[in-house]
Amino acid sequence: MAYLNVRNIQKNFGATRVLKGIDLELERGEVLVIIGSSGSGKTTLLRALNFLELPDDGTITLDGEVLLDASDKTMRSDEEIRKNRLHFGLVFQQFNLFPQYSVLDNLTLSPRLMAKSLPKAERKAKIQAIEENAKALLERVGLSEKAGSYPCELSGGQQQRVAIARALALSPDILCFDEPTSALDPELTGEVLKVIRSLKDDRRTMIVVTHEMEFARGVADRVIFMSDGVIAEQGSAEEIFEHPKSPALQHFLRLSKEK
């Protein structure tokens, strides 16, 4: 069985069927890129994988552990969902940093909260490790010197790199990105894409929703093309970008080139 196994994810908002039975697999260390037109369900799928939406049907299995079985109502306690959410990290289009906290505190806030439940004797060492890890992650994304700054003092590209470091600070098994550069000016997208590429070099398992087709082609091990709530086509980067089969994907790629 693949590292991540997603079966038959369905999600309706009222009468609108947004995800109509999504199946996907991902191996450890692979990068899955999701492309598709606006409204096809990409964000909803990422939110479902991150337990921000509860699917109406389907299962999510990670490393042999069933994290979600929508038919099993016993799996829905808040505590269970919080625990399962930690397997995934999500970087949003709009960064979503905490504006009232410094860059370093943005990284350490959630891990510190989790350390609160530790026995006092272990807590101090844990908090020190959290701080050190956060500093190392800031260095990793090239922002060591901004540890004491506030989000409003940073450029969009810098804020997004902080958001990436913040997601990494929780050591997720799979890091997900939802159009991480689409809120950025073109000259700032490069620095963010470079960080994501370097995470691939580290063999991080990632799922990336993006409209940056050149980047997608370079970083993807597998590509999924979503259309109207289903996976209309999937394959290697070469298969999807060089030899698209369905007219819908051919059309989508043509439109992307014109932009």
Q: How far is the CB of 14 from ligand ATP (least distance, A)?
A: 7
Interface size with ligand ATP, residues (CB under 6 A): 11
CB 70 within 8 A of CB 58: yes
Residue 58 makes CB contacts below 8 A (sequence gap 6+) with: 6, 7, 8, 9, 10, 21, 22, 48, 68, 70
Which run of H or of E encompasses 237? helix 237-242
**With respect to ligand ATP, which residue has the nearer C-beta, 13 or 98?**
13
**With respect to ligand ATP, which residue has the nearer C-beta, 18 or 107?**
18
Q: Which of 32, 35, 43, 161 binds ligand ATP (CB under 6 A)?
A: 43
Binding track over 81-120 against ligand ATP, x by CB under 6 A: ----------------------------------------
Q: Which of 40, 43, 106, 205 binds Mg ion (CB under 5 A)?
A: 43
Q: Residue 36's binding partner, choosing from ligand ATP, Mg ion, none, with beta-carbon cut-off 5 to 8 A by kind?
A: ligand ATP
Binding track over 2-41 against ligand ATP, x by CB under 6 A: -----------x--x-x-----------------x-xxxx
Return the beta strands (E) in the chain as ranges. 4-13, 16-26, 31-36, 57-62, 65-69, 88-91, 174-178, 206-209, 222-227, 230-235
Stretch that binds ligand ATP, among 42-50, 148-156, 168-176, 230-238 (CB under 6 A): 42-50
Integer Rg of the chain from CA: 19
Binding track over 128-167 against Mg ion, x by CB under 5 A: ----------------------------------------
- Among 176, 218, 213, 222, residue whose Cα is nearest residue 201: 218
Contact status: 40 vs Mg ion (CB under 5 A): no
Q: How far is the CB of 150 from Mg ion (least distance, A)?
A: 28
Interface size with Mg ion, residues (CB under 5 A): 1
Kindly tell me the number of DSSP H helices and DSSP E strands found in the chain: 9, 10
Binding track over 44-83 against ligand ATP, x by CB under 6 A: x---------------------------------------
Tokens of 208: 């990336």
Phi, psi of 203 (to 5 degrees): 65, 35
Q: What is the DSSP string of 195-221?
A: HHHHHHHTT--EEEE-S-HHHHHHH-S
**With respect to Mg ion, which residue has the nearer C-beta, 43 or 189?**
43
Query: What is the sign of the dihedral through the CA atoms of 55, 56, 61 and 65?
Result: positive
Contact status: 227 vs ligand ATP (CB under 6 A): no
CB 16 within 8 A of CB 39: no
Contact status: 181 vs Mg ion (CB under 5 A): no
Q: Which residues are 17's β-sheet partners?
A: 12
**Which residue ranges make up the site for ligand ATP (CB under 6 A)?**
13, 16, 18, 36, 38-44
